[in-house]
């Protein structure tokens, strides 16, 4: 695009802001005019509504007064009719006033009736008699007036309050219209009154519409809307207007008796705004044309010649004349700077030619260096373009079982990839091409030319090969390593099998040892029933203590062996939690009393008593924890508590705690107390005895049961062991706490 066109476009763009301001101002003026017209229409509608309410209030007050007159109460038709005629004479806005009996028959009227007339079918009479309230009518042609009217009625009651008829006032719409003309204060505005059926009572703009149906869509917007509102639409005469409406209803009626719609002609409202907009746009276009003419002249005189000089120099430069210079002929200003920039560019390009030659030489040296490294690398180095090999180093050629690279150059790379890995390789190649990023090292199988496979670890990265996008792949043969890993796995499996055999052997041996131990303890018990000396009894007690200690150790070894061998089977049977806890405590009572200790239990009332699970293992865990607490406590007490940790349906998480005031555990020993054959301190074994298996068995049993165990302790201040175990509840929570 020429500079001339650029300047013209620039001038046009410069006018966009003023045009935008003018348009924005016009839009705001338009909105303001519409808002003013809407307010005007709303004000007119409100004024008419207020006048109508005053008129109707006067009608209601007149009818209330009439119903209490003595002649009305006595049904004196002659006297009442004279009075009604006088009221009509004094109030010309009323067309007629009539009184009807309970059946709607006219018995008094300001306008004399020539015979019996029934008003029972008139809405206002019927509603006043049936509802006992002030009621409204609709557009009708009066039976006596013979002209369109709208009427209102009020019930007549006798001295006891019973309704005996109705008093009605008919307003002649022709007279009614004169009252509304004074409200028209805006040119071409329209005022429309519509009854509840949509019949037009009055139209200021088109009087001939009176008595006809309002257009359905216009009436529907008033009927379905709120009691007052505004909208824009084409009126009954298809003229666009801004309408404001009000709905009027009597106090005791649900249906509006009158709709007031005031409309202002939209074109008239916006005519002044459009005139201003046309004037402003015309002035702006004239100014823009003047600016284009001035710019055209300046451009031709001061710019085009310089540009033509620059174009000629550029053509010479493109033809290879690097000595061309134009700055001295360009003058000053921006074009002068452009000439200096052109001269500088020409000088730089002349210098760059030699630099490019040096760069090309360096690139060749780099390619030769890469080829030298690749040729002597023990790893496989391959380059492929569009999925076909274009280079393989000698190591890769040898690994594929080829004698010459030409056997592989041009082949699809997937011919050398094991079928199980082709989809993965395709994905990795796509990732490198799409994201221009290297992929992580990954194992896969490749195929030799003879069809045999070998394992490699391969990495791919983006590469440029003769100005084409390529992939550089580096692979390391890991076949021997994979074989070693397989042998190590077999050795590990053999070691695991040997370990399981050891555990089974220990379990069998523990069982074999326990059988004669039970015999020894049984015979010792029988020996205790015979007459023995004091010394013999002491020896026998030592035998029993040692036997029980040895049997406990054997049982622990047997349990540990069963757990490690995977032969522990958990049972699930109903049992009582509180009975189980009390049973364990009874077994320790003798030891507790012998050491002068006290024991306390606390079971939360929210904890169910009837549970289903492995009662024996639960008691074994609790017995071990209480036994340790008694063993390592010389003074003070042991506290056993049970709480509900949480509950999920029938599964309750039982929280058992055993606290003592014993020797405590050092912080550094907390991690190893749950390991097999471990205790907090080697001196503990010498002073208190024990194998160091109890807590390990507890931990492994709890893991099998889905629970866990942990300890809190402070050296010299006692320890607390916590157990959380999931178990099935078979009844509701207990009624109270248990403490002893």
What is the model's pLDDT at position 12? 72
Low-confidence residues of the chain, pLDDT below 70?
1-8, 11, 14-15, 22, 175-187, 269-273, 277, 295, 299-302, 353-355, 357-360, 362-363, 366, 499, 501-511, 514, 545-546, 548-567, 676-692, 731-740
Tokens encoding 47:
């004024």
What is the model's pLDDT at position 514? 64
H or E stretch including 44? helix 3-67
Residue 549: HSE in the Cβ half-sphere, 13 Å Cα cutoff: 10
Please check whether residue 374 is in contact with residue 366, taking contact to mean a CB–CB distance below 8 angstroms. no
What is the model's pLDDT at position 320? 72
- SS3 state at 165: strand
pTM: 0.39
Please check whether residue 588 is in contact with residue 630, taking contact to mean a CB–CB distance below 8 angstroms. yes
Q: What is the pLDDT of residues 348-365, one digit of tens each?
A: 877 776 667 666 676 677
What is the model's pLDDT at position 591? 85
Residue 108: HSE in the Cβ half-sphere, 13 Å Cα cutoff: 26
H or E stretch including 658? strand 651-660
Q: Residues of 285-298 as b/e, b for ≥16 C-beta within 10 angstroms?
A: eeebeebeeebeee
CA dist list (Å): 299 to 39, 269, 286, 398: 54, 46, 20, 73
How many whole angstroms separate alpha carbon 123 and alpha carbon 445?
A: 98
How many whole angstroms separate alpha carbon 129 and alpha carbon 429?
A: 94
What is the model's pLDDT at position 308? 74
Q: Regarding beta strands 738-739 and 468-477, do their DSSP bridges make them parallel or antiparallel, or are they unpaired? A: unpaired
């Amino acid at each position: 695009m020429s500079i001339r066109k650029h300047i013209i476009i620039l001038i046009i763009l410069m006018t966009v802001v003023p045009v935008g301001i003018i348009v924005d101002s016009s839009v705001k003026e338009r909105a303001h005019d519409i808002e003013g017209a809407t307010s005007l229409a709303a004000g007119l509608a409100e004024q008419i509504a207020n006048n109508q309410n005053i008129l109707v209030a006067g009608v209601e007050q007149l009818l209330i007064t009439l119903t209490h007159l003595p002649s009305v109460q006595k049904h004196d038709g002659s006297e009442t009719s004279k009075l009604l005629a006088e009221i009509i004479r004094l109030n010309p806005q009323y067309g007629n006033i009539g009184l009807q009996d309970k059946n709607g028959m006219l018995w008094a009227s300001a306008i004399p009736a020539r015979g019996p007339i029934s008003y029972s079918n008139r809405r206002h009479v019927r509603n006043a008699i049936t509802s006992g309230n002030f009621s409204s009518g609709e557009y009708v042609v009066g039976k006596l007036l013979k002209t369109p009217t709208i009427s209102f009625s009020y019930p007549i009651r006798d001295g006891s309050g019973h309704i005996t008829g109705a008093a009605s006032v008919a307003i002649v719409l022709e007279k009614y219209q004169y009252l509304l003309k004074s409200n028209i204060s805006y040119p071409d505005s329209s005022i429309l009154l519509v009854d509840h059926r949509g019949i037009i009572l009055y139209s200021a703009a088109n009087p001939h519409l009176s008595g006809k149906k309002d257009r359905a869509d216009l009436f529907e917007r008033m009927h379905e809307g709120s009691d007052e509102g505004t909208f824009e639409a084409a009126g009954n005469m298809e003229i666009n207007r801004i309408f404001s409406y009000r709905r009027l209803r009597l106090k005791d009626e649900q249906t509006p008796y009158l709709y007031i719609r005031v409309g202002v002609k939209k074109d008239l409202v916006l005519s002044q705004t459009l005139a201003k907009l046309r004037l402003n746009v015309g002035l702006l276009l004239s100014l823009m044309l003047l600016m284009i003419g001035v710019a055209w002249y300046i451009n031709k005189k001061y710019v085009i010649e310089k540009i033509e000089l620059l174009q000629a120099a550029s053509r010479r430069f493109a033809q290879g004349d690097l000595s061309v210079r134009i700055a001295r002929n360009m003058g000053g200003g921006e074009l002068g700077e452009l000439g200096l920039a052109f001269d500088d560019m020409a000088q730089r390009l002349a210098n760059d030619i030699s630099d490019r030659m040096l760069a090309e030489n360096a690139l060749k040296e780099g390619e030769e260096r890469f080829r030298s490294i690749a040729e002597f690398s023990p790893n496989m180095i391959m380059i492929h373009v569009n999925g076909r090999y274009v280079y393989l180093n000698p190591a890769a050629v040898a690994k594929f079982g080829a004698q010459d690279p030409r056997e592989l150059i041009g082949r699809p790379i997937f011919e050398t990839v094991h079928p199980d890995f082709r989809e993965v390789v395709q994905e990795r190649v796509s990732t490198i091409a799409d994201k221009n990023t290297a992929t992580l090292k990954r194992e896969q199988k490749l195929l030799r030319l003879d069809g045999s496979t070998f394992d490699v670890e391969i990495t791919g990265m983006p590469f440029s090969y003769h100005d084409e996008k390529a992939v550089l792949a580096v692979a390391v043969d890991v076949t021997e390593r994979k074989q070693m890993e397989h042998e190590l796995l077999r050795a590990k499996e053999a070691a695991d099998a040997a370990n399981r055999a050891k555990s089974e052997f220990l379990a069998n041996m523990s069982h074999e040892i326990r059988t004669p131990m039970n015999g020894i303890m049984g015979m010792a018990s029988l020996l205790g029933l015979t007459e023995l000396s004091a010394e013999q009894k002491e020896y026998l007690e030592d035998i029993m203590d040692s036997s029980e200690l040895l049997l406990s150790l054997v049982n622990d070894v047997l349990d540990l062996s069963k757990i490690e061998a995977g032969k522990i089977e958990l049972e699930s049977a109903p049992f009582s939690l509180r009975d189980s806890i009390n049973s364990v405590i009874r077994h320790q009572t003798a030891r507790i009393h012998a050491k002068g200790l006290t024991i306390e239990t606390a079971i939360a009332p929210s904890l169910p008593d009837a549970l289903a699970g492995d009662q024996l293992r639960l008691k074994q865990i609790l017995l071990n924890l209480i036994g340790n607490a008694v063993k390592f406590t010389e003074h003070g007490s042991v506290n056993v508590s049970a709480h509900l940790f949480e509950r999920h349906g029938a599964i309750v998480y039982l929280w058992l705690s055993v606290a003592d005031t014993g020797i405590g555990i050092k912080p550094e020993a907390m991690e190893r107390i749950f390991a097999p054959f471990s205790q907090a301190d080697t001196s503990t074994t010498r002073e208190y005895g024990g194998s160091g298996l109890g807590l390990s068995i507890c931990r492994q049993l709890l893991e099998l049961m889905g629970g866990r165990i942990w300890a809190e302790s402070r050296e010299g201040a006692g320890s607390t062991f916590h157990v959380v175990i999931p178990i099935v509840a078979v009844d509701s929570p207990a009624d109270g706490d248990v403490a002893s």
